[in-house]
Chain A
Amino acid sequence: MSVELGHFALILAFALALLQAFFGLAGATTRRAPWLGAARSAVIGQLVFTAFAFACLTAAFLRNDFSVLYVASNSNTELPNFYRVAAVWGAHEGSLLLWLLILVIWSAAVSVFNRAMTEVFIGRVLGVLGLVSGGFALFIIATSNPFERLLPAAMQGRDLNPLLQDPALAAHPPLLYTGYVGLAIPFACAVAALMEGKLDAAWARWVRPWTTVAWLFLTVGIALGSFWAYYELGWGGWWFWDPVENASFMPWLMSTALIHSLAVTEKRGLFKSWTALLAIFGFSLSLLGTFLVRSGVLVSVHAFASDPSRGLFILVFLALCIGGALTLFAVRAPRLKSDAGFAIVSRESFLLFNNVLLVVAAALILLGTLYPLFVDALNLGKISVGPPYFSVVFLIPMLPLLFLMAVGMHASWKHGKLASVRTPLLSMLAVAAVFAAVFGLWTYSHFSLLSFIGTLAGAWVMLSALIDPVSRLRAGHSLSPGIIAMSVAHIGLGLFVLGATTVETYKIEKDLSLTTGQSTQIAGYDFKLLQMEKVRGPNYDAIQSTVRITRDGNEVAVLHPQKRVYRVQTSPMTEAGIDYQWRRDLFVAMGDDLGNGVWSFRIQYKPLVRFIWLGALVMAIGGFIGVLDRRYRVKTARVAVAADGTARV
């Protein structure tokens, strides 16, 4: 019964989204305060009903209600409770419901924390968000209803995809979606600003923390996904340039550019139309990602069960949303004049380079991702674009970005005087160069130019990020959260670059066959296969091997990699055994049974691989510190609004 209630609640949520869109947009145009109030109430109502629908679906999973098609397809009585909850978003229908729920939560947050902005503006923002959430609610109801009944009910469920039976499933999609969907806020704000024909510093100041929060969730979500792929897919890679990964990475690049462009708009009132365009692009790419993933137009390991009607719906929705926003942009953006200018050497121009390079990077990835589609659509055949393209092409904008970043952090607004920081910058460059050379030669005893450049760039960015805070502290100034945020986020990027460069250059991978009692050496470690045994998990059977790692006779670790077969879906899964330290991972994965007790193994030595995710986490912490800046709090913002001469309605 509650399943029907959930379905009904979802339909009500859709109706409320339409009301929200109407009262928000019409209320703003006609300046009717009660209508604007109604839009805010509609948001809260929509939140209540969407959350209720979500709770109904979760309840159906928890009580194994196999009369619900979605539950029967993605759960099983043997599935642990924890995974039953996570299974709610384990496939297409439920994950869309999560998408909608998160969007509505964001909208509700906008309807509550908005005192720095005019009611009319907030009305427009909520109106646009209502259109987006209404479109998604209709999409779920019309093509992807998670509440569909299965009659007669199944006796047993088909179980959750074994790949997804991992604690990361509980966290990865919600985090990623929070970031993805959060980009709807700057999008709606940009559309609202274009409608008003006014996009000023107060606007930028208000949009910045929303963008940063969305960005930090996106950062953590992507990093967690990468970490999950690393230990779960069993081959020790951390990024595959799969279309779905690209779909999450492009909005990340775009929102990173947006954060920087917003800084210019806030501080200097420049880049107005550019900032609006980036805000539109950010959310467009996240919708585009949804289209690519759900419609089956591209081949991907993340394939959701695809259905042309779904693809068509999202495409129409995409065309309306993005097409509408871009049309509005074409009409209104010429009005957003920036009157100030800036010198060639100034923070503005460095941030412009930053923006251009990030957008180029996103465009190159978009090109590679869509290229198979273009070629196919033009009847030129079917092709696939893989890591050989992306890994090379991505470096082209990224390397200059890193070096410009190290310098640009120290340029001041309007007229940059780099003279005062020339000495510390150059000495840091020298230190970074020595470090990069010694690091390669001494630690890993061979030299590679690309890794030298990568290490140099990473180290220089990190050292350079410290110059400003250190000199301020020395001069007895206190540090504002803004300064700390910038330093921390850039140090995080430096850590990431260092980790990615090192692991890609100095990793050691060895595929070999082992039988009990045999051993092999990699990077000075001795791996010995002690035994193999059968073990039984709650819903799988596994062959588990015990591998002892020693170095110079001293035990380092004992690992238990497994090859699992999940009983319901009978697909084999590799559970890698990983011993981690901050400076390296030792990774042992079981391959195939070669007969007579011989198994193939994949053993890897991954130096600094943890820095990749650590770096992402530090970047996100930087973003978090930035959001704490006092000037984003209501009181100061209000004064600033008044100073800008923008009155509240």
Chain B
Amino acid sequence: MWRYLIPGAIFVVLIGFFVVGLSRDPANVPSPLLGKPAPTYSLLKVEDPQLKVSNTDVAGKKHLVNVWATWCAECRHEHGYLLQIASEGIAPIVGIDWKDELPLAQQWLSQLGNPYSATGFDVEGRTAIDFGVYGAPETFLVDERGIILCKRIGAMTDAVWQRVFKPVINNQAPDKAAMDAKTTCIS
């Protein structure tokens, strides 16, 4: 008899999760790290796995940290724009290649062009977790002292770069109009 109750019981549990899930916005990840030091990392360098990539490489510089992966379609979309940001020379971009395969990542950089000053190979996703990443791509703006100033979930756009990130880099206030739910900065 009791086995006929199993489907219903599973369903009740599911509904419970949905009720909790409804009250949350999955795209709105609170950023406990905003205003806090960026997590430390030391990863194999994708471009040359003999070398390491770590915080000390970019210490003392305002820089971007961009989390990407070759399996992420949105990252491919974003890639061209990252190349443009890199060409502006305002801030170096550290890449975090998230849960990926090394040959694919190397192929990606050699074929699409490499906007990164260096890319760390985060095969287990530890560093991404430390950064509080829940999906790729994500981009962080980190200041000279290693404090996270801004966070962008999803592909970087021209509006966000020109009107939010760039002003913050230049110690100006970001344009509130360009800040959507996926973009947050310390106030």
Q: Report A's interface with B, CB cutoff 8 A.
A: 233, 235, 237, 240, 273, 277, 280-281, 284, 291, 295-299, 308, 311-312, 315, 318-319, 322-323, 326-327, 329-330, 333-334, 370, 372-374, 376-377, 381-384, 386-388, 510-513, 591-594, 600
Kindly list chain B residues whose C-beta atoms are within 8 Å of the C-beta of A384. Answer: 134-135
Kindly list chain A residues whose C-beta atoms are within 8 Å of the C-beta of B83. Answer: 592, 594
- For window 9-47 of B, CB contacts with A under 8 Å fall at 11-12, 14-15, 17-27, 29
Majority SS of interface residues in chain B? Answer: helix
Kindly list chain A residues whose C-beta atoms are within 8 Å of the C-beta of B15. Answer: 315, 318-319, 323
Pick 13 A–B contacts, CB within 8 A, sort by A.
A240-B73, A281-B7, A297-B22, A311-B22, A315-B22, A372-B26, A372-B134, A377-B24, A511-B108, A513-B113, A591-B80, A592-B79, A592-B80
Majority SS of interface residues in chain A? Answer: helix
In Å, the complex CA distance between A322 and B83 comes to 50
Kindly list chain B residues whose C-beta atoms are within 8 Å of the C-beta of A511. Answer: 108, 111-112
B21, B24, B129 interface centre (most CB from chain A within 10 Å): B21
Closest to A319 in B: B15
**Interface assignment of B103: CB less than 8 Å from any CB of chain A:** no
Contact yes or no, B8 A330, CB < 8 A: yes
In Å, the complex CA distance between A331 and B11 comes to 16
Contact yes or no, A512 B26, CB < 8 A: no
Number of interface residues of B (CB under 8 A): 38
Kindly list chain B residues whose C-beta atoms are within 8 Å of the C-beta of A233. Answer: 73
In Å, the complex CA distance between A598 and B35 comes to 40
Contact yes or no, A329 B99, CB < 8 A: no
What is the distance, in angstroms, from B29's C-beta to the closest C-beta of chain A? 5
- For window 79-114 of B, CB contacts with A under 8 Å fall at 79-81, 83, 99, 108, 111-113
The residue from A240, A284, A319, A373 contacting B21, defined by CB atoms under 8 A apart: A373
Kindly list chain B residues whose C-beta atoms are within 8 Å of the C-beta of A334. Answer: 1, 4
In Å, the complex CA distance between A572 and B167 comes to 26
**Beyond the given A280-B7, A376-B26, A377-B21, could you list 18 further A-B residue pairs with CB under 8 A, ordered by the A residue number?**
A296-B25, A299-B26, A308-B22, A323-B12, A330-B8, A333-B4, A372-B26, A372-B134, A373-B21, A376-B24, A381-B129, A381-B134, A382-B134, A383-B134, A387-B71, A510-B111, A592-B81, A594-B83
Closest to A280 in B: B7
A295, A377, A381, A513 interface centre (most CB from chain B within 10 Å): A377
Kindly list chain B residues whose C-beta atoms are within 8 Å of the C-beta of A373. Answer: 17-18, 21, 26
In Å, the complex CA distance between A377 and B19 comes to 9
In Å, the complex CA distance between A249 and B129 comes to 30
8 A-B pairs with least C-beta separation: A592-B80, A382-B134, A326-B8, A511-B111, A377-B20, A297-B21, A384-B135, A373-B21
B11, B18, B76 interface centre (most CB from chain A within 10 Å): B18
The residue from B1, B7, B20, B24 contacting A326, defined by CB atoms under 8 A apart: B7
